[in-house]
Amino acid sequence: MYGRTKGRRLSKKQKLFLRNHGKDLIFDDGKMEEFLHETFRPEENIFDNKKVYLEIGFGSGEHLGHKAERHKESKFIGCDYYLNGIASAVIKITEKELSNVRLFNGDAIKLLNKIPNKSLYEVYLLYPDPWPKFRHLKRRFISDQNLRLLASKLIDGGALKVVTDSDIYFTHIKSVVLTQKISKIFSFKGPDFSQPWKDWYSTKYEEKAKKAGRRSYYMVLKKIIVNSHI
Ligand SMILES: C[S@@+](CC[C@H](N)C(=O)[O-])C[C@H]1O[C@@H](n2cnc3c(N)ncnc32)[C@H](O)[C@@H]1O
């Protein structure tokens, strides 16, 4: 975990919503087993017949809230460790009266390690911290190891959707995805990644990128094989 967990002081509204609704919406390491059991019902192995989406690093939750509102029949898990963002997401979820979203306050890798294999329909990683300096390469979320972990958690045919406005991170992602091993697990189609997918919904960081005149790369990595050896 490399980013900040707290920023400026929480507003009165953020504090109020965290206090009143946080315990119903947020789970942490301590409650993870219980939450995952309720969500995935491993003994029945049917995942409640609902699609489960995961958004890693949801920021203030605009994309997460929008998707959950559009797909009330599905379940959404958001994961972030930035408290101010979590509080903003709690406000959005509560005001939209969404009952199909839960937030994990912690590191995505910890959560992913506990999620049952082949259970996620889609995973979103939108504007992940690019860590552009070479000496911070290891901090980038997209790595060979993390892609294999993500693939093992996606259902067959599921997808990882990634957006970045960093040329350096885009080049990095391509270099990882196009290795022999990973290209057998994920298909990665261009042609130039300049167009968002059909139901794309903008995020705060996309707005920042647009204002600064940076282009974004929209990447869909579709899981292509059933893999027992991932
Ligand atoms: C650059 S912001 C992008 C926020 C949002 N997706 C958007 O597009 O506006 C990256 C977010 O990812 C979160 N993050 C980074 N690494 C993470 C990890 N390992 N687990 C959970 N959240 C993470 C950060 O706290 C931050 O909120």
pLDDT digits 0-9 by tens, 41-71: 765 544 456 799 999 999 999 999 999 999 9
pLDDT per residue as tens digits for the range 117-138: 999 999 999 999 999 898 889 9
Residue 3 domain-assigned?
Answer: no
- The answer to whether the peptide bond before residue 191 is cis (omega within 30 degrees of 0) is yes
Is 186 contained in some domain? yes
Is 203 touching ligand 1 by the criterion CB < 6 Å? Answer: yes
Query: Does ligand 1 come within 6 angstroms of the Cβ of 165?
Result: no
> Is the pLDDT score of 109 beyond 80?
yes
In a domain, residue 5? The reply is no
Q: Is the CB of 78 under 6 A from ligand 1?
A: no
> What's the pLDDT band for 229 if we cut at 50, 70, 90?
low
From the CA of 104, give the closest atom in ligand 1.
21
Q: Using the Cα atoms of residue 47, residue 53, residue 56 and residue 58 in order, give the sign of their dihedral.
A: negative
Average pLDDT over residues 168-189: 93
The residue that leads in pLDDT, 17 or 226, is 17
pLDDT at 193 over 90: yes
Where residue 76 sits, what CATH number does that domain have? Answer: 3.40.50.150
Cα 207 to ligand 1 centroid, rounded to whole Å: 15
Q: What is the pLDDT of residue 189?
A: 82
Report whether pLDDT(218) > 80: yes
For residue 7, being part of any structural domain is answered with: no
pLDDT at 190: 76
**How far, in Å, are 40, 47, 132 from residue 158 at the CA level?**
16, 15, 29
Share of the chain above pLDDT 90, in %: 77
Which of 76, 81, 211, 217 has most ligand 1 atoms within 8 Å of CB, for mutation? 81
- What ranges make up the beta strands (E) of 66-113? 75-80, 101-105
C-alpha 57 – ligand 1 centre gap (Å): 3
Give the span between the Cα atoms of 200 and 185, in whole angstroms: 24
pLDDT of residue 16: 96
Q: What residues contact 96, with CB distance under 8 A and at least 6 apart?
A: 65, 68, 69
- Alpha carbon of 14 to those of 97, 100, 137, 192, 205: distances in Å? 16, 20, 34, 40, 20
Per-residue pLDDT at 45: 46
In the chain, % of residues over pLDDT 70: 91
Residue 209, pLDDT > 60, answer yes
pLDDT for res 37: 86
Residue 21's pLDDT is 96
For residue 91 the two structure tokens come to 């406000």
230 within a domain of the structure (yes/no): no
| Residue range 83-108: mean pLDDT, rounded | 96
Catalytic residue numbers, as ranges: 129
Helix (H, G, I), strand (E, B) or coil at 101: strand
Map residue 159 onto helix, strand or coil: strand
Is 56 within the bounds of a domain? yes
- What's residue 8's pLDDT? 79
User: Is 106 part of a structural domain of the chain?
Assistant: yes
Whether residue 1 lies inside any domain: the answer is no
Number of domains in the chain: 1
Confidence band for 230, pLDDT divided at 50, 70 and 90:
low
* Arithmetic mean of pLDDT over the chain: 91
CA distances from 122 to 88, 101, 139, 202 (A): 23, 14, 23, 17
Q: How many Å apart are CA 109 and CA 140, to the nearest integer?
A: 12
Give the mean model confidence (pLDDT) for residues 21-31.
Answer: 92
The residue type found at 94 is: T
Out of 27, 29, 58, mutate this one to test ligand 1's pocket (max ligand atoms within 8 Å of CB): namely 58
Q: Distance from the CA of 55 to the center of ligand 1, in angstroms?
A: 9
The answer, yes or no, to whether any atom of ligand 1 lies below 6 A from the CB of 205, is yes
Domain that holds residue 84: 12-223
6 Cβ closer than 6 Å to some ligand 1 atom: no
- pLDDT exceeds 70 at position 95: yes
